[in-house]
Amino acid sequence: MVSTADLDDHTAALAAVQAEIVACQRCPRLVAYREEVARTKRRAFRDQEYWGRPVPSFGDPNARLVIIGLAPAAHGGNRTGRPFTGDASGNWLYRALYRAGFANQPTSLHRDDGLQLFDAYITAVCHCVPPNNRPTPDELAACSGYLARELALLPRVRVLLCLGAVAFETTLRVMRARGYDWPVAVANDDERPERRLRFQHGGEYRWRTSPPGLPPAPVLLASYHPSQRNTQTGLLTEAMFDTVFARARALIAEAEGRAKSNYEAKR
């Protein structure tokens, strides 16, 4: 169990990490691009002031679900200053979060629109918008330390949900660097481990053991990214997306049930 004082300390430390993210200047290519986009703007948003900086994470510091995306959109998060806010991908994500009970409203238009997340936290493997939506391996490595620190400061997390293959692969590397090694891919129906660890929509991956001194690893889920390329072609449907969030809900309930049983057994 995590005490209230510990949660308060973690919340303050998470806020400090977000301040570091916003001030980050590590990647010259990304700095130049995000500022260029903010300066030139899209015609539809020419009267708006763009954020034009690294986009901090957003959500509940006591979250049991952590959603890990790729990077801010040029005229979405890079404009609004909040992940998945003001673009088509965000429309899909926040509708799904609302339907699953993780958000108080199904829309996310700007930073001050009243959106709140319950038991969910959204971060990314790259906090700056990259050209062509493709951060380089060096840029991902430069940003991965922030993700590692966030995961260490989210003591209640039970499920990691990666949106897209890049987020999935980067998260695996971050977890391995933290000492968790590689997870095992599991089939949902009978939990027979697969032979190859690979990204697939609806995939579920579990760490069978945890390193000494570290908390039990969360379950890792994978989903196609709700990009327009995936949603407009039908590769990802809203029903498919909802199924992933329903599975996250079920896994959280399972984990909490085990924790309660263990606590009562020790009393």
- pLDDT reported for residue 263: 47
* pLDDT of amino acid 84: 98
Are residues 226 and 163 in contact, defined by beta-carbon separation less than 8 angstroms?
A: yes
Q: Rounded CA gap, 235 and 232, in Å?
A: 8
pTM, 2 dp: 0.93
Tell me the pLDDT of the chain (267 aa) as tens digits.
555 666 678 899 999 999 999 999 999 999 999 999 999 999 999 999 999 999 999 999 999 999 999 999 999 999 999 999 999 999 999 999 999 999 999 999 999 999 999 999 999 999 999 999 999 999 999 999 999 999 999 999 999 999 999 999 999 999 999 999 899 998 755 555 555 689 999 999 999 888 888 888 999 999 999 999 999 999 999 999 999 999 999 999 998 877 655 545 555
pLDDT value of residue 215: 87
Q: Give the whole-angstrom CA distance, residue 8 versus residue 15.
A: 11
- Predicted local distance difference test score (pLDDT) of residue 149: 97
Residue 57's Cα: distance from chain center in Å? 8
User: What pLDDT was estimated at residue 121?
Assistant: 98
Residue with tokens 């994978």: 222
CA neighbor of 58 nearest in space, from 6, 103, 4: 103
Residue pair 22/56 in contact by the 8 Å Cβ criterion: yes
For residues 234 and 241, the answer to whether their CB atoms sit within 8 Å is no
